[in-house]
Amino acid sequence: MNSPPIQPRIRAVHPEDKSERRAAILAAAQSLLADDPQGSFPVESVAQAAGVAKGTVYLYFGSREEVMLAVHEKQVHELFDVIGDALAASGADAVSVVRIVLRHISRHRNFYPLAGRCRSMLDTKVSTDCALAFKTRLGERLADLGLVIERMYPGLAAGGGAALLMNSYALMIGLWQQADPPDCLREVMKRPEMKIFRIDFERQLAAALIDLWDAAGRRGAAARRSGSTKRSNA
Amino acid sequence: MNSPPIQPRIRAVHPEDKSERRAAILAAAQSLLADDPQGSFPVESVAQAAGVAKGTVYLYFGSREEVMLAVHEKQVHELFDVIGDALAASGADAVSVVRIVLRHISRHRNFYPLAGRCRSMLDTKVSTDCALAFKTRLGERLADLGLVIERMYPGLAAGGGAALLMNSYALMIGLWQQADPPDCLREVMKRPEMKIFRIDFERQLAAALIDLWDAAGRRGAAARRSGSTKRSNA
Amino acid sequence: MNSPPIQPRIRAVHPEDKSERRAAILAAAQSLLADDPQGSFPVESVAQAAGVAKGTVYLYFGSREEVMLAVHEKQVHELFDVIGDALAASGADAVSVVRIVLRHISRHRNFYPLAGRCRSMLDTKVSTDCALAFKTRLGERLADLGLVIERMYPGLAAGGGAALLMNSYALMIGLWQQADPPDCLREVMKRPEMKIFRIDFERQLAAALIDLWDAAGRRGAAARRSGSTKRSNA
Amino acid sequence: MNSPPIQPRIRAVHPEDKSERRAAILAAAQSLLADDPQGSFPVESVAQAAGVAKGTVYLYFGSREEVMLAVHEKQVHELFDVIGDALAASGADAVSVVRIVLRHISRHRNFYPLAGRCRSMLDTKVSTDCALAFKTRLGERLADLGLVIERMYPGLAAGGGAALLMNSYALMIGLWQQADPPDCLREVMKRPEMKIFRIDFERQLAAALIDLWDAAGRRGAAARRSGSTKRSNA
DNA sequence: AATGAATGAGCATTCATTCAT
DNA sequence: CATGAATGAATGCTCATTCAT
């Protein structure tokens, strides 16, 4: 009644082979996501695209949602890498960082839909362990980058850098959710009543981000002047 | 368990709201949502809570998602009402508006989960007509309130008020998505590695919103000084 | 994405129509059980055999197991009917009752496999309500028939009739489990080492049942003689 | 959670038991069964509890069901050991044997669920060889003990001892199936309509067993008197 | 012998939606 | 208008089993 494995794939015995297989599954999911941003494809499709059996997916991930979360995490860390590089560049300032980040994101627009669903993903079929690990790793990056920002804006309160990052990220995701027309509205976006939503997403986002970063810089400056260095929040 | 809180509508914004049945269904869904923010309850539950038959729900709404969207819309318009009132108050400024809005939202925290899912709802089982109507009504409010803001910050570019509102809304939703711990993490939020996410959501949001509004005000002021009045973006 | 009902069957609106439909599902399951005593067929097969859609089965039963339990219950009550008739016949005694019961069972041999699985069915996917109702109805029959038996064996302790029935039923099911060769042993049953299991099931069962009933009768007689009438157990 | 209780085997009945590994696997399964009488645990759990790899289980057993069957067999043979000892005791009679057997079983209540499923296990994923061996060994014990009983009840027909054993066993298992409330009914057993099922299982079983054994004794006596020694049946 | 990675069949169940009554 | 019976698509996941290492 239970059928045996017919053509088992080459076995991933060593840890590095396992990481490779895991990565293959992630890549497969990511590739499917490109065609279907809503991610409404069965696990079997992911498996097929990765060249493994359905069950194998569950050897590397606890659930379908955990696969998707892992794809999201990968993309977020890539974004953080970009931010880190931008901040590390000589002469980096709010404007240059924002420009570089936006350029990256504009080339990875399939980042948004998944990111927008991240919160609800955590509410569904993601084990506490998995969610915790995800958040922990995220927190580490946030802390690291936050420190870099605090060094850039001396006087910014402790934690102010991370807060600025969170706010920026929030603005980015939130604004995309407002601005990106859903498929069913693509056609009617040209109507006059939709004018208000025909915004230049990247322009508006860039402006708002710069407002946020400038305000942080100004606050840092003010703090420096008055000698204080504590109290958090951007 | 679900006592349909027949919240008297602050304003009868839409003509179709006149139907008591429709309102009852919305109220039922809203009440259910209070217990289950993820909204993973069957249409039948909504119908039961509303005291109607399952089929009746489809007499008033095109699909399950349209019901949820309507609940969301109702809540958004309530929020807009509050913003409108705050702006209309004498001596209104960024700080007072933000304070009032945050107070409202903190009393309607079940606004967030639904709002966070709004974008993906539009991608699923919402007819173009319905989505268009939703967006159109939203756009109208946005335009109206945007004008009020532009009057408050004279010199703010045309459309700058609406953009400021969108940005604010985006920040609010996006930051909530980062800050609100999912159920599976409620318990572990006290761990040290989660410290960075134990933010004071409302404080941080308020600060960031004020940064945004202040920047808009400053930009408006600058624009006024230089005589220009065009170019959009906040 | 969710497809509508294409060719809905005639609707069972009246209670009697519903009973009919329920009965049809039961009959379908029973018929499948005849071919596959282990009952390892999907719910869909039952539905098809009953001429309804899979979902309809779940309109009438809480789970697959509840369908099977209902089939079993039907068969048990049929057996109880036979026992009742046998007991009601003039000149009924242990021998005649046992003979009649065995004749019935030998004509309904697919009663055994299901009956043998009844206990484990109750452990799996049967709601408390359903199990309780099943047991309650069973208990009623047991009590009724028990009284008839007690009238037949005056002096039998209160409850002694029901106990005798339970014991008889237990012996019947238990002995079948020992005696009925599983499919995989059908062929090898003729080997000498299997001799001991090549019993004449019905003969041995009949003899043991009569022992049980005679002993009960004797005990009843003894009790009568000594005047006592209480204490239970057969 | 599952501390493999390495119960020292009372007797090394089968040669293959010499394998420590095999014994460890059986002990692990038995231990798991104590916590989950339904035996709905994966093979991997058994392997882990036994301290071996999943594949190793299949080196010693042909299938999952064969492991369970082996556990059952072990328990049955332990029961037979007890019966043998009870019969061998000086002054052994039906009452003393029944008492000793019941005491053993009451201390090993997890014997019942598995025993009750034995028949259906044989229908699923047990090789003919395995089933045959199981039955053969069972038959041997049955024959041996049957002879002892026939010696105890001289005049009992040939095979009458084994038949009496089978009947007794059947009654035991069958009555347990009726009497043991499934988990989902544990709570509601106190209700009045459940009264008829609130039987004193061991008392009722003991009484019925004694009826069976007494009847066998009496029949043996009668047979002796009339000189006959043939005809089987208890 | 032992391991454990890989396989993939297998299915109950839910529930949004329709439409006969 | 309202009802609620009927539909059936849609799929995540488990886990027994195999066999390359």
Q: Is A186 on the interface with B (CB under 8 A)?
A: no
Q: How many CB pairs under 8 A join C and D?
A: 189
More confident residue, B18 or A191: A191
Q: What one-letter code names the amino acid at D100?
A: I
Please name the nucleotide lying closest to A61, CA to C1'.
F13
Please name the nucleotide lying closest to D53, CA to C1'.
E3
Q: What is the C-alpha separation between C119 and C142, in angstroms, rounded? A: 17
CB < 7 A to strand F: residues 122-141, chain D: 125
B93 membership: H or E segment, kind and range: none
Q: What are the DSSP calls for B34-67, one per residue?
A: HH-TT----HHHHHHHHTS-HHHHHHH-SSHHHH
pLDDT digits (tens, 9 = 90+) for C124-134: 999 999 999 99
Superfamily of chain region C63-226? Tetracycline Repressor, domain 2 (1.10.357.10)
pLDDT digits (tens, 9 = 90+) for A97-114: 999 999 999 999 999 999
Residue D191 is classified by DSSP as: S
> With an 8 Å Cβ cutoff, are D196 and C142 in contact?
yes
Q: Report if CB B42 to strand E is under 7 Å.
A: yes
pLDDT digits (tens, 9 = 90+) for C158-208: 999 999 999 999 999 999 999 999 999 999 999 999 999 999 999 999 999
Q: What are the DSSP calls for A73-93, one per residue?
A: HHHHHHHHHHHHHHHHSTT--
The tally of CA atoms less than 13 A away on the side-chain side of residue D124 is 17
| C116 CA – E4 C1', rounded, Å | 37
Q: What is the C-alpha separation between B158 and D4, in angstroms, rounded? A: 76
Q: What is the pLDDT of residue B225?
A: 75
pLDDT digits (tens, 9 = 90+) for D43-69: 999 999 999 999 999 999 999 999 999
Residue B229 pLDDT > 60 = no
Quick one: how far is CA B41 from the chain centroid? 22
Q: What is the C-alpha separation between B189 and B183, in angstroms, rounded? A: 10
| D134 CA – F19 C1', rounded, Å | 28
pLDDT digits (tens, 9 = 90+) for D197-220: 999 999 999 999 999 999 998 877
Nearest CA of chain C to the CA of D7: how many Å? 27
Cβ-contact B94, B53 below 8 angstroms? no
Q: Report if CB A14 to strand F is under 7 Å.
A: no
Residue B233 pLDDT > 70 = no
Q: What's the Cα-to-Cα distance from C154 to each of A220, B5, C148, D214, rounded to whole Å? A: 100, 65, 10, 21
> With an 8 Å Cβ cutoff, are D171 and C169 in contact?
no
Nearest CA of chain A to the CA of B196: how many Å? 6
CB < 7 A to strand E: residues 172-201, chain B: none
- What residue ranges do the domains of chain D occupy? 62-226
Q: Report if CB C51 to strand E is under 7 Å.
A: no
Mean pLDDT of C44-72: 97
Task: State whether the Cα torsion B102-B104-B107-B109 is positive or negative.
Answer: negative
What are all long-range contacts of B193-196, with beta carbons under 8 Å and residues at least 24 apart?
B193/A135, B193/A136, B193/A139, B193/A140, B194/A132, B194/A135, B194/A136, B194/A139, B195/A139, B196/A139, B196/A142, B196/A143, B196/A146, B196/A159, B196/A162
Residue A159 pLDDT > 90 = yes
CB < 7 A to strand E: residues 52-81, chain C: 54-55, 58, 63-65
Residue A6 pLDDT > 70 = no
pLDDT-derived band of residue B223, with 50, 70 and 90 as boundaries? confident
**Percent of chain A having pLDDT more than 70?**
93
User: Interface partners of C (3+ CB pairs, < 8 Å)?
Assistant: D
Residue B14 pLDDT > 70 = no
Residue nearest to nucleotide F20 (CA to C1'): A11
Residue B211 pLDDT > 80 = yes
Q: What is the pLDDT of residue A5?
A: 64
pLDDT-derived band of residue D14, with 50, 70 and 90 as boundaries? low
Domain C13-60, CATH: 1.10.10
Residue B221 pLDDT > 80 = no
| B10 CA – E7 C1', rounded, Å | 60
User: Interface partners of D (3+ CB pairs, < 8 Å)?
Assistant: C
Residues ≥6 apart with Cβ < 8 Å to C19: none
pLDDT digits (tens, 9 = 90+) for C66-122: 999 999 999 999 999 999 999 999 999 999 999 999 999 999 999 999 999 999 999
Q: Which chain C residues are within 8 Å of D167, Cβ to Cβ?
A: 171, 175, 204, 208
Q: What is the C-alpha separation between D22 and C185, in angstroms, rounded? A: 25
Q: Is A222 on the interface with B (CB under 8 A)?
A: no
Q: Is D62 on the interface with C (CB under 8 A)?
A: no
Nearest CA of chain B to the CA of A206: how many Å? 10
pLDDT-derived band of residue A229, with 50, 70 and 90 as boundaries? very low
Helix axis angle, D201-226 to D94-107, nearest 10° = 150
Domain B1-61, CATH: 1.10.10.60
pLDDT-derived band of residue A37, with 50, 70 and 90 as boundaries? very high
Please name the nucleotide lying closest to D57, CA to C1'.
E2
Q: Is A207 on the interface with B (CB under 8 A)?
A: yes
> With an 8 Å Cβ cutoff, are D126 and C199 in contact?
no
Cβ-contact D157, D134 below 8 angstroms? no
Best C109, C135, C180 residue to mutate vs chain D (most D CBs within 10 Å):
C135
> With an 8 Å Cβ cutoff, are B132 and A188 in contact?
yes
Please, what's the b/e burial string for A188-207 (b: 16 or more CB within 10 A of its CB; e: otherwise)? beeeeebebbebebeebbbb
Domain A64-178+205-226, CATH: 1.10.357.10
Q: What is the pLDDT of residue D219?
A: 79
| C26 CA – E15 C1', rounded, Å | 24
Q: Which chain A residues are within 8 Å of B207, Cβ to Cβ?
A: 233-234
B105 membership: H or E segment, kind and range: helix B94-107
Q: Which bases on strand F have an atom closer than 7 Å to a protein beta carbon?
A: 1-21
Place of tokens 């604010």: B168
Residue A48 is classified by DSSP as: H
Q: Report if CB A58 to strand F is under 7 Å.
A: yes
Q: What is the pLDDT of residue A49?
A: 97
Q: Is A142 on the interface with B (CB under 8 A)?
A: yes
Q: Which chain A residues are within 8 Å of B117, Cβ to Cβ?
A: 120
Compare all CA atoms of chain A with the CA of B179 and give the residue at the minimum distance.
A166
Q: Which chain B residues are within 8 Å of A140, Cβ to Cβ?
A: 193
> With an 8 Å Cβ cutoff, are B196 and A172 in contact?
no
Residue nearest to nucleotide F10 (CA to C1'): C2
| Token pair of A8 as six digits | 């088992």
Task: State whether the Cα torsion B96-B98-B100-B106 is positive or negative.
Answer: negative
pLDDT digits (tens, 9 = 90+) for A135-156: 999 999 999 999 999 999 988 9
Residue A200 falls in which region: left (phi positive, over 0), alpha (psi -120 to 50) or beta: beta
Q: What is the C-alpha separation between A149 and C115, in angstroms, rounded? A: 73
Q: What is the pLDDT of residue A220?
A: 72
Place of tokens 């933010």: B199
Q: What is the pLDDT of residue D2?
A: 36
Q: Report if CB C43 to strand E is under 7 Å.
A: yes
pLDDT-derived band of residue D158, with 50, 70 and 90 as boundaries? very high
Q: Report if CB B52 to strand E is under 7 Å.
A: no
Radius of gyration over alpha carbons of chain D, in Å?
19
What SS3 state is found at A14? Answer: coil
**Percent of chain D having pLDDT more than 90?**
81
Q: Is A105 on the interface with B (CB under 8 A)?
A: no
| Token pair of A21 as six digits | 């297989």
Q: In this complex, does chain B touch chain D, defined as having at least 3 beta-carbon pairs under 8 Å apart? A: no
Compute how many other C-beta atoms are within 10 angstroms of the C-beta atom of residue C9: 12
At the top level of CATH, which class does the domain D62-226 belong to? mainly alpha
What SS3 state is found at D162? Answer: helix
Q: Is D225 on the interface with C (CB under 8 A)?
A: no
Interface of A with B in 65-104 (CB under 8 A): none
At the top level of CATH, which class does the domain A11-60 belong to? mainly alpha
pLDDT digits (tens, 9 = 90+) for A68-102: 999 999 999 999 999 999 999 999 999 999 999 99
Q: What is the pLDDT of residue A222?
A: 78
Which is nearest to D166 in space by CA: D206, D205, D139?
A: D139
Cβ-contact A87, A145 below 8 angstroms? yes
User: Interface partners of B (3+ CB pairs, < 8 Å)?
Assistant: A
Q: What is the pLDDT of residue B13?
A: 53
Mean pLDDT of A110-122: 96
Averaged pLDDT score across all residues of chain B: 89
> With an 8 Å Cβ cutoff, are A118 and B38 in contact?
no
Compare all CA atoms of chain C with the CA of D39 and give the residue at the minimum distance.
C120
| C26 CA – F7 C1', rounded, Å | 19
Nearest CA of chain B to the CA of A191: how many Å? 10
Q: Is B178 on the interface with A (CB under 8 A)?
A: yes
> With an 8 Å Cβ cutoff, are C194 and D167 in contact?
no
